[in-house]
Amino acid sequence: MEFRTVVKIDPSPAKISYKSRVMFIGSCFASSIGMKLEAGRIPVLINPAGTVYNPVSVSNTLDIILNKRIFSIDNLYNYEGTYLSFLHYTDFSSADPEKVIEKINCSSEKAHGFLKSADFLFITLGTARIYTFRETGEVVSNCHKLPASRFERSMLKVAEVVDVLRKKLDLLHAGFPDLKVVFTVSPVRHWKDGAHENQISKAVLHLATEELLSHPAVLGYFPAYEMLMDDLRDYRFYETDMLHPSSEAIDYIWESFANCYFDNNTFELWKEVERITRACSHVIKDPSAKGTGIFARKMIDLIEIAEAKEPMLDLSAEKDYFCKLLNGLSEKQTD
């Protein structure tokens, strides 16, 4: 007898490999899955404008990338000595406007170049709720902790979401016909909107993405939301805020993601590479210990085995790290 509702996911007809380039745009859940690919050193670019939650902000981010938009200081807003962009996350903000502009434009240029040869674009929608800055009428990606009175809150309708994203899908398909777009709805609940409004918001996103699945640029939909809401229906799969998925939940959803979009060889190699990159963050208590040298040598061997399996795999940074551990140990032994 099965005591849980398992979400069944059909394997994707298009597969991610180490030759693929994958872009993620959307909520913090997009970052969580994107970072998993990054840990396995699959070429990936995550949220080039920072985390964005609503469909209009996703559209604005794609506009910036597609048009390689150049920002100037005139595009920034100075709030209590901090320069910020309402189209970017707080990571881009600074007291120095030149630094903000440089960071924004460098990120935009990098994303434009990446998208031109990208194979997959995953779009994760978090909320249909938008905030419009009253002074300019601009829908913002982030309120940057300005007073709530400076913004007008509203809920997008299904038709509005479909319209704004379909226009971008048309542009993407015309410019990059081989790009495959996948939609997801973030399982993270926007509880500040209230329980009922959060449900309405998620329903709008689900109905809109369902309509967009027929677009020729769209490969499909990945049910991350359904997995957390139905398959992992227990608070032990949430962080202490009871809203964000726990690391165990993300790992579970990631495994389903990998089984859907990877072939067996890619997933097995990803596991090997992730073990190597995780080892780089291992705290070395005693660099001069004999065990450190054994550990470093073993990791170098694993790197060489992994790179021999996949010519596109670049683990030079990881190899340099472990070689330095070995060299440091050798120098201490000769002192």
**Using an 8 Å Cβ cutoff, are 146 and 79 in contact?**
yes
Q: Give the containing element (helix H, strand E) for 46.
A: strand 44-46
Give residue 183's pLDDT.
Answer: 98
Question: What ranges do the domains of the chain cover?
Answer: 22-262, 263-335
In one letter, which amino acid is 82?
T
Distance CA 105, CA 68 (A): 8
Give residue 4's pLDDT.
Answer: 84
What average pLDDT does range 120-145 have in this prediction? Answer: 98
pLDDT-based confidence at residue 329 (cuts at 50, 70, 90): low
What Å distances lie between residue 187 and 51, 199, 253, CA to CA? 15, 11, 11
22-262 architecture in CATH?
Answer: 3-Layer(aba) Sandwich (3.40)
List beta partners, residue 120: 22, 180
Distance CA 276, CA 302 (A): 8
Residue-wise pLDDT for 24-67, tens only, equals: 999 988 999 999 999 999 999 999 999 999 999 999 999 999 99
Three-state secondary structure readout of 171-190? HHHHHCCCCEEEEEECCCCC
Flag whether pLDDT at 198 surpasses 90: yes
